[in-house]
Every structure is written in structure tokens, then in C-alpha cells.
Amino acid sequence: MVARMKWMNSFVLDSPRFLLLTSFVEGGAVMAVELVGAKMVAPYYGSSLYVWAAVLALTLGGLATGYFLGGRLSARLPSRRVLFVIILLSALWVALMPLGAPWVMESTLGMGLRQGIVTACLVLLFPPLVMFGMVSPMIVRLISLHGGRIGHAAGMVYTVSTLGGILVTFAAAFYFIPHIGLQASAYGTAALLAIFPVVYFAMAGRPRQAGIS
């Protein structure tokens, strides 16, 4: 039992593999939020080219902003604690999406079709996607601190994250959204994201050997 707890402590608090697993889930969450967000917009604005253009553009814009901010933050403060605070905040935002979506959509209906779509997506989707974008640069930096080459670390992180996105795209579009609905899909995504910071902070709160951060 003691040996198992030591292994778990080391895996969560010190191992690059836990960070890669986090990256996999974060990549999946990006696509889940994109799909769920588009479906939340549809009852109010339809599923036209305008809707998908706004969703795709703001997804890319949010991720690009997150990559920039995450890169700067990781250079100044390469910390697992900061990483998992960001992931926890993103999980909370995703959990609030089903509750906030009707209010956001109704508040933008008077703006006109294109402006309303863009504003709704900006409010609903942009913030969590910025936080998702911050995750990968921070994970790359943290893995490189363990002695890995930064190029290799970046390749691994973005490969794993993309694979998570591919898997969740199929799973969400073919099964979860059609069968369990938007609210449950959003809550499930938020819960899966929240598992990682909850586990990390639970482990970090336990007594541990020096050198594990």
C-alpha cells in the first residue's frame, strides 16, 4: 500500500506521463467544446456557414491567444500548480456553458445575424479555448525541465493532444451528443477535465519526499 502511494505520488507530481495524459484530455476537450458550442448556437442562429465560420475562427483565435499567453507564462512560471489551476478554471467554464448559453444567445439576438453569432461565440467559447491553448506550451516547458529536449517534448505533446481531439470528435459527434445530449456532454467534458487538477491537488496536499514539485 505504501509503495503504491509512493508510485501514485511520483506519477502525479513528477512524471511527464501524467502531463501527457492531461494533454490528451485537453485536446479532446477542445473539440468537445467546439462541437457542443456549435450545437448550442444552432437553435438560435441555425447551423449555417456563418455559424461554423464563427465557431472555427474563434476556436483558432482562442487557441492562438492561449498559445501566446501560455508560452510567456511557462517561461516565467513553469509550475504544475499553475497549470492545473488553469485546467480547473477551464473545467468550471465548460460546466457553466449549458447554464449561460440561453442567456448569451438571447442577449445577442438583436444584434443582427453575423454580429450576433460572432458575439455569442466570443462570449461562450473564446475564454475556455484561451485556457486550453495555454495548456500545451506549459506542458512542453514542464516536460523539458525533466531533461527532455524541447523539440521532442513539443512533438509529443502536440501529437498526444491532437490524437485526443480526433478521438473525442468521433465520440462526441457519433455517440455522446446524439445519445446523451448537449448538457450531459458539456458536464461530462467538464468533469473529465476537473479530474486532473483534483487528483493533483489531492496528491500535492499529502506529505511527500523533497524534490517532488
Q: Is the full-model pTM beyond 0.95?
A: no
State the pLDDT confidence band at 163, using cuts at 50, 70 and 90: very high
Average pLDDT over residues 141-156: 84
- Average pLDDT, whole number, for the chain? 89
CA-to-CA distance for 105 and 121, rounded, in angstroms?
Answer: 9
Going from N- to C-terminal start, the domains of the chain cover: 22-204
Q: CB–CB of 157/136 below 8 Å? A: yes
Could you tell me what percent of the chain has a pLDDT over 70?
89
Average pLDDT over residues 185-190: 96
State the pLDDT confidence band at 150, using cuts at 50, 70 and 90: confident
The pLDDT score that the predictor gives to residue 9 is: 63
Topology, domain 22-204? Growth Hormone; Chain: A; (1.20.1250)
The pLDDT score that the predictor gives to residue 175 is: 94
Higher pLDDT, 212 or 81: 81
CB under 8 Å to 35, separation ≥6 — which residues? 169, 172, 173, 177
The pLDDT score that the predictor gives to residue 191 is: 97
The pLDDT score that the predictor gives to residue 11 is: 61
CA-to-CA distance for 189 and 95, rounded, in angstroms?
Answer: 8
Q: Residue 146 pLDDT more than 90? A: no
Q: At what angle do helices 16-45 and 2-13 cross, to 10 degrees?
A: 60
pLDDT tens by residue, 10-57: 666 668 889 999 999 999 999 999 999 999 999 999 888 989 999 999
Q: For cell 499529502, what's the residue? A: 206
Q: Residue 205 pLDDT more than 80? A: no
